């Protein structure tokens, strides 16, 4: 230590206590009695390339590190300035070698004490209705005296009398003051050198008053921690913290992903609620990192063109595959590593590949690249999905993607039944392998089969069975020529279905194109679609939700005998449906019952051969025979058919009713017989007596 700025000037040296050795790390310098505001520390490391730094611990105003200066040799000069009215300063000197080794030394510098002690952080805290604790900090040791007076009074001090011991640092004093009283505490101190404060410190003590306080946060699930001046944590009671008037509390609000907020407040009767909003540290990025569609299960292979090209600002895309296949893969990731992705099925997707929450299961490669396999429902050439990206902070964004297959397969048609209801009315049922638009012509049987024109707007039909009901026919056998064109323009082969004449309805072979052996009730067909409600369809492979249904409007017939048209197929379809509720009947009887119900809803309008307005009828059932009363059918056969159409339960009721009726009839006749016999037996003695006389 030195009062001189020169390392070689030993006249200014101040001795250290104890003397310096490499084994000791704490020293106190000799008292300085001069008027300088600073003293110099010269530190010479053992290794010349080592660095020397210094920082104040207490009692310093500033520290200047001049390093190697002229006249200091290999030592570093450090100037330590005392704080205002400070007689002692503590400094930490650190030496660090090039290899990273460090050593720290603490040095206390002293100058002649002519300054009184300084008191800081003075406060009075009520702990309960009676007890008050006075706390303050002192920069040096000494003694103090306190006085308790009423507000507005000025006390008198005599430090030569009773005093309290004062330490450097924190000091505390507990007093008993009634809860309803407000007082002032005055403190006057002097240090061990006899330097006395010129003005005492005044500390107000307020009355004891509890304040219920609520604390609100955004987000609402943030953690709240409240501590008093002693660091003791307060617990909320019924959502409120109990503060004491005038006391100081520290409120700390924290939540994962947000900045921690800390605020110190003084309890006030006017403030009963505090609100805090935390700043989020979580990402709000809900964009996609990339998006592409492929036909391969390997990352980066079989990529299909995306329209438009991928951009973070786009939210609708379309990808078209140039052929037919069962599935395509969607590859994407969230732009932010903390984001998450879910893919939802919208339409055209195989129901068994969709989970209960309508999401599609995520798959991943061995390298960790995620993708989603989109499996098309049977007969579907277009699938729609929704990609939902959720950012770390909960922000969500939706991206919509349409996948299309290039349909190169024409619909396949198959005859189910053809029936003549009357001379001018017939019903034809057939099946189509996919949805599309239906066109047809009706010609006399045996004539040249015409080509059906599919250039106009046909009747929209679903995959499955379709029923055409014709009216306005002339007598004689007819040929119905029907084709279906799908949404991609592929046209099926013409299906020719022979419609029997009403006079020859009792002969034929059924479904081979000749006359049927039974007249079929209209409504034994109907439309089925795999794009129905979630999980439904002709094979149970529909999408989970929002799958497209077609209502079946537009013109149906083309030039044949005469054009026929079709109206709302969807309405008649619902009329033709009948849910099977039979619990005990076998399948055949259930079908017969459904045929009866189907026959009742044969449609308000029918397709005509003369161009009049018409309406398709049908149900979801397959081919069913009629239980109606065609020409020549006897009453007995009608009753037999009706009996066959009944379920087991109605039959049981009828049999039971017959047995009960028979029993009642037998009982009545027997009672009448025995009553007559009894009367006869009573009259016999009288008759004998009369004859005797």
Please list the residues that pair with 196 across neighbouring strands: 190
**Nearest Cα to Cα of residue 29 among 8, 52, 12, 46:** 12
| DSSP letter (8 states) at residue 501 | P
pLDDT at 668 (0 to 100) = 86
The pTM of the full predicted model, rounded to 2 decimals, is 0.45
DSSP state letters, 423-476: TTEEEEEEEESS-EEEEEEEEETTSPPPPPP-SS--EEE-SEEEEEEEESPPSS
pLDDT at 229 (0 to 100) = 86
**Nearest Cα to Cα of residue 243 among 268, 261, 223:** 268
Distance CA 327, CA 348 (A): 11
> Which of the pair, 625 or 103, is modelled with greater confidence?
103
Structure tokens of 669?
């006749």
pLDDT band at residue 638 using 50, 70 and 90 as cut-offs: low
Distance CA 662, CA 514 (A): 49
User: Any idea which of 101-115, 349-363, 628-642 has the lowest mean pLDDT?
Assistant: 628-642
pLDDT at 637 (0 to 100) = 64
pLDDT at 675 (0 to 100) = 79
Residue 12 has pLDDT above 60, yes or no: yes
Strand stretches in 32-118, DSSP E? 38-43, 51-58, 60-68, 76-82, 88-96, 102-110
Residue 625 has pLDDT above 70, yes or no: no
Residues 6+ apart with CB under 8 A from 553: 459, 460, 566, 567, 568, 569
Distance CA 615, CA 599 (A): 15
Distance CA 623, CA 519 (A): 12
Mean pLDDT of the chain: 81
- Cis status, amide bond into 308, omega within 30 of 0: yes
How much of the chain, in percent, has pLDDT values that exceed 90?
59
pLDDT at 378 (0 to 100) = 84
Distance CA 223, CA 270 (A): 25
In tens, the pLDDT along 510-561 reads 444 443 333 333 333 333 333 333 333 333 333 343 333 333 333 344 433 3
**How many C-beta neighbours within 10 Å does residue 674 have?**
10
pLDDT at 352 (0 to 100) = 93
In tens, the pLDDT along 165-222 reads 999 999 999 999 998 899 999 999 999 989 999 999 999 999 999 999 999 999 999 9
Residue 94 has pLDDT above 90, yes or no: yes
In tens, the pLDDT along 225-279 reads 999 988 999 999 999 999 999 899 999 999 998 999 999 999 999 999 999 999 9
pLDDT at 15 (0 to 100) = 93
Burial class (CB in 10 A: 0-12, 13-18, 19+), 584: exposed
The H or E element that residue 637 is part of is: helix 635-645
**Nearest Cα to Cα of residue 483 among 412, 538, 425:** 412
Burial class (CB in 10 A: 0-12, 13-18, 19+), 666: exposed
Distance CA 579, CA 597 (A): 10
Per the CB < 8 A criterion, the answer to whether 431 and 402 are in contact is no
| DSSP letter (8 states) at residue 503 | G
| DSSP letter (8 states) at residue 449 | P
In tens, the pLDDT along 472-497 reads 999 999 999 999 998 888 999 999 99
**How many C-beta neighbours within 10 Å does residue 449 have?**
12
pLDDT at 85 (0 to 100) = 85
Residue 508 has pLDDT above 90, yes or no: no
CA atoms within 13 A on the CB side of 168: 12
pLDDT at 260 (0 to 100) = 95
pLDDT at 634 (0 to 100) = 57
Residue 585 has pLDDT above 50, yes or no: no
pLDDT band at residue 681 using 50, 70 and 90 as cut-offs: low
Strand stretches in 448-537, DSSP E? 459-461, 464-471, 478-485, 495-499
Residue 605 has pLDDT above 60, yes or no: no
């Amino acid at each position: 230590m030195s009062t001189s700025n020169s390392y070689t000037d030993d006249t200014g040296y101040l001795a250290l206590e104890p003397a310096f050795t490499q084994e000791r790390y704490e020293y106190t310098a000799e008292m300085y009695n001069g008027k300088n505001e600073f003293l110099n520390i010269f530190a010479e490391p053992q290794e010349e390339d080592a660095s020397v730094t210094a920082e104040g611990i207490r009692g310093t105003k500033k520290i200047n590190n001049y390093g190697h200066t002229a006249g200091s040799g290999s030592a570093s000069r450090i100037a330590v300035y005392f704080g205002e009215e400070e007689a002692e300063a503590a400094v930490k000197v650190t030496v660090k070698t090039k290899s990273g080794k460090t050593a720290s030394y603490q040095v206390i510098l002293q100058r002649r004490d002519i300054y009184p002690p300084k008191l800081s952080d003075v406060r009075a805290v009520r702990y309960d209705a009676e007890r008050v604790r006075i706390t303050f900090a002192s920069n040096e040791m000494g003694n103090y005296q306190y006085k308790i007076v009423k507000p507005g009074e000025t006390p008198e001090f005599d430090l030569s009398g009773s005093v309290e011991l004062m330490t450097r640092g924190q000091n505390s004093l507990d007093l008993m003051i009634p809860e309803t009283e407000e007082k002032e505490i005055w403190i006057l101190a002097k240090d061990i050198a006899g330097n006395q404060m010129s003005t005492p410190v005044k500390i107000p003590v307020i009355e004891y008053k509890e304040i219920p306080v609520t604390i609100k946060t955004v987000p609402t699930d943030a953690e709240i921690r409240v501590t008093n001046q002693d660091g003791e944590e307060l617990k909320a009671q019924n959502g409120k913290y109990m503060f004491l008037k005038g006391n100081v509390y520290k409120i700390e609000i924290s939540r994962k992903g947000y900045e921690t907020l800390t605020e110190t407040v003084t309890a006030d009767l006017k403030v009963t609620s505090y609100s805090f909003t935390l700043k989020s540290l979580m990402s709000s990025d809900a964009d996609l990192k990339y998006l592409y569609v492929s036909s391969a299960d390997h990352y980066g292979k079989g990529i299909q063109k995306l329209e438009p090209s991928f951009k973070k600002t786009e939210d609708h895309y379309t990808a078209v595959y140039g052929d037919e296949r069962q599935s395509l893969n969607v590859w994407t990731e969230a732009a932010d590593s903390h984001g998450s992705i879910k893919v939802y099925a919208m339409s055209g997707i195989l129901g068994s590949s969709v989970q209960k929450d309508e999401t599609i299961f995520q798959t991943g490669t061995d390298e960790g690249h995620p993708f989603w396999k989109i499996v098309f429902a049977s007969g579907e050439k277009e699938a729609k999905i929704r990609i939902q990206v959720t950012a770390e902070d909960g922000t969500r964004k939706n991206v919509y993607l349409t996948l299309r297959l290039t349909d190169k397969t024409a619909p396949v048609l198959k005859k189910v039944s053809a029936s003549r209801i009357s001379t001018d009315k017939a019903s034809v049922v057939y099946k189509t392998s996919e949805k599309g638009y239906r066109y047809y012509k009706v010609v006399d049987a045996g004539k040249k089969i015409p080509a059906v024109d599919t250039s106009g707007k046909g009747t929209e039909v679903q995959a499955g069975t379709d029923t055409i009901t014709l009216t306005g026919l002339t007598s004689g056998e007819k040929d119905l020529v029907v084709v279906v064109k799908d949404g991609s323009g592929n046209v099926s082969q013409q299906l020719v279905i022979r419609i029997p004449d009403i006079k020859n309805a009792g002969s034929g072979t059924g479904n081979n194109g000749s006359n049927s052996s039974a007249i079929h009730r209209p409504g034994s067909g109907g439309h089925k679609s795999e794009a129905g409600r979630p999980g439904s369809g002709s094979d149970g492979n529909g999408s989970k939700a929002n799958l497209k249904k077609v209502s079946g409007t537009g013109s149906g017939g083309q030039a044949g005998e005469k054009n026929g048209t079709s109206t709302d197929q969807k309405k008649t379809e619902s009329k033709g449906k009948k849910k099977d509720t039979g619990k005990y009947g076998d399948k055949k009887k259930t079908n017969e019952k459904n045929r009866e119900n189907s026959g009742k809803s044969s449609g308000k309008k029918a397709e005509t051969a003369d161009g009049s307005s018409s309406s398709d009828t049908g149900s979801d059932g397959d081919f069913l025979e009629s239980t109606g009363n065609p020409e020549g059918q006897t009453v007995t056969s009608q009753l037999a058919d009706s009996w066959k159409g009944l379920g087991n339960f109605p039959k049981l009721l009828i049999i039971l009713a017959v047995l009960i009726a028979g029993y009642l009839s037998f009982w009545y006749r027997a009672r009448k017989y025995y009553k007559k016999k009894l009367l006869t037996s009573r009259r016999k003695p009288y008759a004998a007596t009369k004859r005797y006389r």
